[in-house]
Amino acid sequence: MNLEDNQDNQGQRHEIKTAEIAALIKEALEKMGVEARVSIEQNVQGFTFNISSPDSNLLIGQRGANLHSLQSLMHSIAYKRYGPIDRFTLDVDDYKKKREWYLRETAKKALEQLKRTGRPVALEPMPAHDRRVIHAFLSADFDFETESIGEEPNRRIVIKPKEKGF
C-alpha cells in the first residue's frame, strides 16, 4: 500500500464516520421528539454538524447551554460506539457562527470604549466558551489585556490597558 492509497482509505473512513455520526445525531434528536435535518461541513477545525430544526431555540438553550450539553453527549456516545474519532462540533442553524460574530463585535465596542475613556471595561457575565472567544480575539492586541473575574454564573471579562513594565 502506498501513501496515496493510505490517504484515500483515511478519507473514506472520515466519510463513513461522519455519515454515521450524522445519523447518530439525527437518531438522538428523533428520540427527543425533535424534527431536524443534519448537514455536514468540513472546516479547519474538523467537521461541523449543523442541525436545522423548527425547535432550534429549544436545542440552543439560554446562551447555548443546551447546544453545548448536546455536543458533549454526542461526543461521548460517538466515542463509545465508534472508538477514537476526530473532534467535531455541533451547531444549530449557525448559532455558533452568529454568536461568535456578536462576541467579536461586543469586544470591538468595548475596546473602543476603553480607548476613548482610558478606563477598564467589564462585559456582561457569560459562559466559559463565550469568554474563550473574546480572550482569543483580543489576545493579538498588545496594548490591552483581558481577565476573567467573578464566580460562575456571574463570571465576566474585564478589558484593561496593559500595565507598562520592563
The dihedrals phi and psi of 27, each to the nearest 5 degrees, come to -60, -45
Average pLDDT over residues 138-153: 89
CA distances from 137 to 63, 104, 130, 141 (A): 19, 7, 11, 9
Average pLDDT over residues 65-74: 95
Mean pLDDT of the chain: 88
Per residue in 87-106, pLDDT tens? 899 999 999 999 999 999 99
- Asked whether the whole model's pTM tops 0.85, one would answer no
Per residue in 5-59, pLDDT tens? 444 444 444 556 899 999 999 999 999 999 999 999 998 878 999 999 999 999 9
